[in-house]
């Protein structure tokens, strides 16, 4: 089974590192024209673009803080300017834990910023691509949530886990509203993945404790999340609507 995205335009938010990077590269290798969105990591985003081009694909890097409506508007405008007036696939990957902090030590600013980065961005980007997808009567939207949205996450991650739980329910709500327009919405919930996210937010000891809870006995790799994303965006998944695909090495089974 070969999955191809020739003549498809794909936006991947937060695509300069980790899961977003792997996803953008895999879409590019599969023939898509890819918009590599980034906020701060410009050099990393440009490296992703070059990797895609080296594999024979098309890609551009676009800076935008996708928790800000005006910058999302710019992201869409630059996408259309580069690849024409269609947007086929949106991967709402941008997100962050920002920092670990217990409820007792949580600040209102940190809580609000986490919600903006992880859930407001999903709403803003989805709303922005809807006119194009509705006109086409075709679209695929894949939201990135997390195992933390199901199990509450580790210590100091309640703000992050709450935001990712919100993505779970927003995915279902969006799926119900958009399916009449040929727009299929699903989500992927990664478990513990070997990415810069955990390099930054999880100690070696914490990561080792996570691995002990994973039946396959290791962390996942970013590509192991990218591949299910491509599957959900493909024509092999047209009867999957409003679902969240758990990809966690068996850490959470239900």
Round to whole Å and give the CA distance between 123 and 126.
5
Strands (E), 19-117: 33-38, 58-63, 89-92
pLDDT in tens, 96-105: 999 999 999 9
Angstrom distance (rounded) from CA 39 to CA 74: 13
Contact 138, 88 (CB under 8 A): yes
For the chain, give the percent of residues with pLDDT over 90: 85
* Banded model confidence at residue 85, pLDDT cuts 50, 70, 90: very high
Higher pLDDT, 65 or 252: 65
Is residue 11 within a helix (H) or strand (E), and if so which, with residue range? strand 9-12
DSSP 100-126: ---TTT--HHHHHHHHIIIIIHHHHHH
Looking at residue 142, its pLDDT comes to 99
d(CA 14, CA 18): 9
The strand order across the sheet containing 33-38 reads 58-63, 33-38, 9-12, 89-92, 139-144, 183-190, 244-247
Q: Which of 123, 138, 160, 236 is catalytic?
A: 160
Which residues face 244 on adjacent strands? 187
Buried b (16+ CB within 10 A) or exposed e, 19-33: bbbbbbbbbbbbbbb
Provide the whole-model pTM: 0.95
Answer yes or no: 160 catalytic: yes
Query: What CATH fold (topology level) applies to the domain 9-247?
Result: Rossmann fold (3.40.50)
| Least confident window among 57-71, 169-183, 198-212 | 198-212
For residue 220, the model assigns a pLDDT of 87
Average confidence (pLDDT) over 59-86: 98
Residue 71's pLDDT is 99
Q: Check: CB of residue 241 under 8 Å from CB of residue 186.
A: yes
Q: What is the pLDDT of residues 117-165, one digit of tens each?
A: 999 999 999 999 999 999 999 999 999 999 999 999 888 999 999 999 9
- Report whether 232 contacts 140 (CB < 8 A): yes
- Mean model confidence pLDDT for the chain: 95
DSSP codes of every residue in 124-186: HHHHHHHHHHHHHT-EEEEEE--THHHH--STT-HHHHHHHHHHHHHHHHHHHHHGGGTEEEE
pLDDT digits (tens, 9 = 90+) for 4-56: 999 999 999 999 999 999 999 999 999 999 999 999 999 999 999 999 999 99
């Amino acid at each position: 089974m070969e999955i191809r995205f020739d003549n498809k335009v794909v936006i991947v938010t937060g695509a300069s590192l980790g899961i977003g990077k792997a996803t953008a590269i895999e879409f590019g290798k599969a023939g898509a024209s890819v918009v590599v969105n980034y906020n701060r990591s410009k050099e990393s985003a440009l490296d992703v673009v070059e990797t895609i081009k080296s594999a024979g694909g098309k890609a551009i890097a676009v800076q935008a803080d996708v928790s800000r409506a005006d910058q999302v508007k710019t992201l869409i405008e630059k996408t259309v300017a580069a690849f024409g007036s269609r947007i086929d696939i949106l991967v709402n990957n941008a997100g962050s834990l920002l920092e670990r902090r217990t409820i007792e030590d949580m600040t209102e600013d940190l809580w609000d910023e986490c919600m903006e980065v992880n859930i407001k961005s999903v709403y803003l980007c989805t709303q922005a691509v809807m006119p194009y997808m509705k006109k086409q009567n075709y679209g695929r939207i894949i939201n990135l949530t997390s195992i933390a949205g199901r199990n509450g996450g580790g210590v100091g991650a309640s703000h992050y886990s709450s935001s990712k739980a919100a993505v779970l329910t927003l995915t279902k709500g969006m799926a119900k509203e958009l399916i009449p327009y040929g727009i299929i919405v699903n989500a992927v919930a990664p478990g513990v993945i070997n990415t810069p996210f955990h390099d930054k937010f999880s100690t070696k000891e914490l990561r080792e404790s996570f691995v002990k809870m994973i039946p396959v006995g290791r962390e996942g790799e970013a590509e192991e999340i990218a591949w299910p994303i491509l599957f959900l965006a493909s024509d092999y998944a047209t009867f999957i609507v409003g679902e969240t695909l758990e990809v966690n090495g068996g850490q959470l089974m239900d």
